[in-house]
Structure 1
């Protein structure tokens, strides 16, 4: 088994030898002066002799220190270059997709095993927007389905498929029609998105009234509340396909269509990345599948 000096001590020695002082080495390494001095003493003990000696107000390498420095600095430079290349390779393989938590949990994450089976060399990392949009600088692709909530802020985008919207509720929940419109006791919505009900009514040409509007922090919480009989929630069909198939939810008024409403936008930083094209092609195929992932 190799008996090697401790890496922190080697780094402290190399920086001190290269920069000419413990103070400069401590600043570069973001350590305290005493910590660097202690590590150099430990390294000296480990290799059996002093590595520095006093030279006026400064330090100079001993013969033993010169020998170690000649070997160590190129070795650390090579290690830095190899590790940088490996990190860059790993980052090039990983694609960061920004999307809502609901879309991530109810659609994308369930389908990713199919992508990995076809493209084992590409990693997809999910960046959920939560209540704030992820900055463009932190993602490679933005995936979006919600054409009711607000306008899509990217003029250059890839349409993945149509988006379909409709009210969903638990089986047996009261949704009835009178002479003028449909009625449900409670309509549910995500925080900040009450206006999506008006947008859906304009899209579908159907009026749905209620006694109360109830807000939920996230869309998936509104959908879960609908499934437990607490009201009617708006949903894009892909997000509730499995629940409808299992009988957990029903769509009493069907779904209204927005052509090319399911979209992907590629951020400028990702234009040249070779993994983008196979991922976009796969997303377009998945967006138009009518199956339920995992079944």
Structure 2
């Protein structure tokens, strides 16, 4: 019996438009014209016999039928993407797909990867970026994260601790800040938009209370660091991420660094997390991180 399915591109056009809220942005993402995407959506609605979007100003908003279809299509495309990436990985030989924050990848993992390849020349590491905002791991086998508060309980239970972490406030040497009598006083506190509990955890662990007049927020840690280097305020970061900045005196740490109990962990995200390649990566990164222990 043949499958009763609409064309795959119509589903991709629908999913992109639903996610982005705009036919124009969907067309840009898909590399198609506005007219082509519009025609695919119209064809899909005709096939369904029902409208899937309502007008919302200059954009589109899913109606109840559209939201039901969006959930189904998003899940199906995610599974298809993950399965296809696994096929590609298998075809290319032994591999492990690792998701982590962009800052950790740029400032620590990628510079240290040559050491992994020297030990495991036949294993390929593929990287994806993820964040606390949206846990979508793009088919990853392992996710590296210190803030696992928003992860499902099952994932937190299976997480493998790979390193201690220590966080501390940092700022430019010329930035006016006072650290005295268990208080950190500054004009502006810089926060990460999606890990706001970090400042609270640091205050609890250090016993130091932060007093600030204003606050700046950024969606990525490396932006918080650059804002601190530029003299915009005081950012809270993990020690490894600013080691070079501290050594070069681009930043100072007026209160030092204190440990966070949860540490950094590798969270299994697929059945391939138990593969020899994934186990080799976890063993390597645990040993590599232990060589640079936070104070």
TM-score range, shorter chain: 0.5 to 0.7
4+ residue stretches of structure 1 with deviation over 6 A? none
Cα 1:101–1:87 shift into 2, 3 Å:
closer
1:170-181 correspondence to structure 2 within 5 Å: 170-177=172-179, 181=183
Structure 1 stretches lacking a partner, 5+ long = 1-29, 31-85
Which structure has the bigger radius of gyration? 1
* SS of match in other structure, 2:276: coil
Offset at residue 179 of structure 1 (A): 5.3
User: 1:48-82: CA deviations, max 9, x gaps?
Assistant: xxxxxxxxxxxxxxxxxxxxxxxxxxxxxxxxxxx
What is the aligned length? 205
Distance between the aligned counterparts of 2:203 and 2:102, measured in 1? 25
Corresponding residue number in structure 2 for 1:221: 223
- Is the contact made by 1:161 and 1:260 (CA closer than 8 Å) also made in structure 2? no
- Root mean square deviation, CA, Å: 2.5
- Is the contact made by 1:127 and 1:134 (CA closer than 8 Å) also made in structure 2? no
Distance between the aligned counterparts of 1:93 and 1:265, measured in 2? 20
Distance between the aligned counterparts of 1:159 and 1:238, measured in 2? 17
* SS of match in other structure, 1:154: helix
Q: Could you state the TM-score of these two structures normalised by the residue count of structure 1?
A: 0.63
Offset at residue 265 of structure 1 (A): 1.7
Q: Which moved more, 1:187-196 or 1:112-121?
A: 187-196
Corresponding residue number in structure 2 for 1:144: 145
- Is the contact made by 2:168 and 2:238 (CA closer than 8 Å) also made in structure 1? yes
Q: Could you state the TM-score of these two structures normalised by the residue count of structure 2?
A: 0.63
1:127-276 correspondence to structure 2 within 5 Å: 127-130=128-131, 131-135=133-137, 138-146=139-147, 153-177=155-179, 181-259=183-261, 261-276=263-278
User: 1:144-198: CA deviations, max 9, x gaps?
Assistant: 1236x75784201221121101101111311214556220111101223334222
User: 1:8-36: CA deviations, max 9, x gaps?
Assistant: xxxxxxxxxxxxxxxxxxxxxx9xxxxxx
